[in-house]
Amino acid sequence: MLFSPKVLAATGVLLSIASIGAAHPGEGHEKRMQEAANARMVAAVNARALEACNARPEVKARKQRAIARREGTFDRLRQKRGLKDESFIHRRDDAAFSKWAAVDHNKTGLLDFNENTPAEELFGSNTSCVLAPDNANGPYFVYQELIRQDVAEDLEGIPLHLEFQFIDVNTCEPADVLIDIWSCNSTGQYSGVSAEGQGGLDSTYLRGVQPTDAEGIVSFDTLFPGHYSGRASHQHIIVHVGSKILDNGTYTGGVVAHLSQLFFDQKLIDLIEQLAPYNTNQIAQTKNLEDAFAGYGATEEYDPFVNYIVLGSDVSSGLFAWAELGLNTSSNWDFYAPYASIWQPGGGSDNPNFNFSVVGTPPPTHG
């Protein structure tokens, strides 16, 4: 979760989920309303900027390339797992959260599709995520993680191939940035942090960093996240602008221009939670609609739910999930992205300046 009771006890910080859910605990109602209005305006401006992008011929061509690439990735992943001839299922393309799925998650069904379904329909991103809202960073960001594509290590869980394409809303061009991901394991524990009950400073599982390519794309091989108290299953993701890649396989510097959390259809989560080792997790599940942080995604413009396709005929065969994400590379949200620790070979160290009081606060541009 953002805050396990153990973390709270360990740090002596007393915050309820409800107070974290409020934009800025302790601030006046008027200020919060103003901030919410501002966030909605920024979302609308970004959405319009991206929509304007879509009219450009080079953007249309890029979208066609994206569809072809996703189709290729899907075939490659199925081949690799020996699923070439199996039927598959996928998220209905017109499914969205809030508008987009929060209101009626029954729209987000797993429907049968087959090899005759046009690639455009399967891998197009029309109604999907073009913007994810900025969201709270949570207490478990680790600075200077390893630059690597495969972050699953030897953990058990449902394989999840993530492919993100980042577009700068200022230019409509692919963004030249570093993407940093982390999530908890199937039983709800994070690596890389010293907080009690988590994996410890010498663990790195389900964390990694990748530079975008010329098309603004990164991919990761990870595992479907588990859950912990008070939070729906989610995938953390932040974007660094202007970082320098180091010879030793990490990076330094830059600013955090986007921080968000991606969510998954409830129906998909429910299916996976029935499987081992997810089903050994004794912590009560929090549904998407009960998660205050998923709510940041519930605006007209933002859809923080990834598209996905199951590689074979059941979810244990693994998933391919993708999103096209707009970001403003001129943003600087460093203040909202404090890191709990710094990764170092053989075991990292706690950040002595970690500001725990902002980890539940999203930037003013949250949805």
Ligand X SMILES: *[C@@H]1O[C@H](CO)[C@@H](O)[C@H](O)[C@H]1NC(C)=O
Task: Name the residues that contact ligand X, by CB under 6 A.
Answer: 45-46, 49, 93, 106, 120-121, 124, 126, 144, 155-156, 169-170, 185-187, 189, 199, 203, 246, 248-250, 277, 328, 330-331, 344-345, 355, 357-358
> Considering the complex, what minimum distance in angstroms separates the CB of residue 217 from ligand X?
20
CB-closest chain residue to ligand X: 199
Residue with smaller CB distance to ligand X, 36 or 83: 36
200: left (phi over 0), alpha (psi -120 to 50) or beta: left
In the bound complex, what is the minimum distance in angstroms from residue 354's beta carbon to ligand X? 9
Closest CA to 122 of 268, 307, 318, 267: 307
Q: Which is nearer to ligand X, 46 or 285 (CB)?
A: 46
User: Quick one: 79 or 357, whose CB is closer to ligand X?
Assistant: 357
Question: Which C-beta is closer to ligand X: that of 219 or that of 250?
Answer: 250
User: Which residue lies nearer to ligand X by CB, 79 or 349?
Assistant: 349
Tokens 């029935």 — which residue?
Answer: 274
Q: How far is the CB of 85 from ligand X (least distance, A)?
A: 25
**Measured from the CB of residue 249, what is the shortest distance to ligand X in angstroms?**
6
What distance lies between CA 87 and its chain's CA centroid? 27
State in angstroms the smallest separation of the CB of 316 from ligand X. 15
Nearer to ligand X, 79 or 111 (CB): 111
Q: Given 3-state DSSP classes, what are the helix, strand and coil percentages for the chain, each rounded to the nearest 5?
A: 25, 25, 50
52's tokens: 């304007």
Closest separation between CB of residue 295 and ligand X, Å?
20
- Omega cis (within 30) before 277: yes
**DSSP at 179:** E
304 near 132, Cβ under 8 Å? yes
Residue type, 117: T
- Comparing C-alpha atoms, which of 240, 267, 270 is closest to residue 253? 240
